[in-house]
Structure 1
């Protein structure tokens, strides 16, 4: 996944047309065996995060206590049901994301935000490390007003910590979630299926002062 992609988002006029039918993908998680598309246990919640290459991001979250199932997908764009090859052109508008289904009695949304901020560099714009292009932009797609408020508060708290450490300005996109499209089967649980596979995810080393028992 070490190749350049477009650094400019498409418009409605320039976006690829996509397709009406969803892509074929795994039905259960390769590690947990839980269903990717549900049904999910009653009372569980969902979060959507983009932190760069979704292979490594998904592994970070499936290893987080309280997370019930994860999946790799595409969100934040214009093209319906895009393929990986289409997202690679930069003409779908999507970023690679991970959908996280979690038990809020075990891990809070604030806890997951802490995991999000501390495990990538949210100041890099349309890239993450060596992975360059719009599909690697940092993003939080919120499912309700509470998530939106918590995400924005956590951004402000982490920005203060980054500024104190001499780091740059957060470029993370925080928006209400649009459609989420499951990525192809080979992307699901990729680093469990391919333990020696590529993972370009890495944090800044700056601790985020929210989550894990600390209010945003």
Structure 2
């Protein structure tokens, strides 16, 4: 799943942006068509991935790969979800490919030492002439999922506290009721919009399957 890795990469100093999306292990995705979460779940050949833009003066490629290995167990293969959850490192140049392959070898030794199955991680060299055909950003509701979820629950908790306090006799606290109700409705509406996007994405995936 790309939620936790995206959150982890976003917290690293030097990471300029991280985007959850769907990627292929070949340099052309024309045969797949436009992906959606549901097409990937059905097994269209793509993998959940995170695209990271970073400042090499502040964080190295090796540091990014350490986070990659920390955020998942590459020895786990989910039956029926081999493509969706495959362990992949996409390298943009020869140096990145060399470093990535080195970390795979190190991981295999570490996994063997700890008694785990050999990691199934593969390294894919991206054709820089068509990088946009490898990675497609995921739907909006997937982006920064954990950060948004924490913000929603924290916001609702604060609003609930204000509503409870606002029912007390204090005039100052009572004046907060209107603001608290507005914030609560805004958070619920935010959740509704993301749920609607999920429904539309599902419908699009079902229509694509029928065609």
Indicate the TM-score class for this superposition, using the shorter chain for normalisation: 0.5 to 0.7
Aligned equivalents of 1:85, 1:151: Cα separation in 2? 30
| Alpha-carbon contact 1:125-1:172 (below 8 Å) kept | no
Runs of 4+ in structure 1 off by over 6 angstroms are none
Aligned equivalents of 1:57, 1:115: Cα separation in 2? 8
Q: Summarize deviations over 1:108-164 as a string: whole Å, max 9, x none.
A: 00111111112210112346xxx9442111111111111111000111112112211
* Structure 1 residue 193: Cα displacement: 1.4
| Alpha-carbon contact 2:41-2:81 (below 8 Å) kept | no
The answer as to 2:15 corresponding to 1:63 is no
Q: Summarize deviations over 1:173-210 as a string: whole Å, max 9, x none.
A: 2111361101111111111111289xxxxxxxxxxxxx
Give the aligned partner of residue 162 of structure 2. Answer: none
Aligned equivalents of 1:146, 1:125: Cα separation in 2? 28
Give the aligned partner of residue 83 of structure 2. Answer: 134
| Alpha-carbon contact 2:4-2:71 (below 8 Å) kept | no
Give the aligned partner of residue 103 of structure 1. Answer: 55
One of 10, 26, 36 as aligned partner of 1:83:
36
| Alpha-carbon contact 2:97-2:125 (below 8 Å) kept | yes
| Alpha-carbon contact 2:18-2:50 (below 8 Å) kept | yes
The answer as to 2:123 corresponding to 1:123 is no
Task: Calculate the TM-score normalised by the size of structure 2.
Answer: 0.62
Aligned equivalents of 2:81, 2:47: Cα separation in 1? 11
SS of the counterpart of 1:113? helix
| Alpha-carbon contact 1:140-1:173 (below 8 Å) kept | yes
Give the aligned partner of residue 12 of structure 1. Answer: none
Give the aligned partner of residue 185 of structure 1. Answer: 140
CA RMSD of aligned residues (A): 2.0
Count of residue pairs brought into register by the alignment = 141
Give 5+ residue unaligned stretches, structure 1.
1-52, 198-216
Q: How does 1:1-216 map to 2 (within 5 A)?
A: 53-76=1-24, 78=29, 79-90=32-43, 92-126=44-78, 132-177=81-126, 179-195=134-150
Which structure has more relative contact order (CA 8 Å, sep 6+)? It is: 1
| Alpha-carbon contact 1:137-1:172 (below 8 Å) kept | yes
Q: If each structure's helix is expressed as a fraction of its own residues, which one has the higher value?
A: 2
Give 5+ residue unaligned stretches, structure 2.
153-211
Task: Calculate the TM-score normalised by the size of structure 1.
Answer: 0.61
Return the index of the structure with the highest Cα Rg: 2
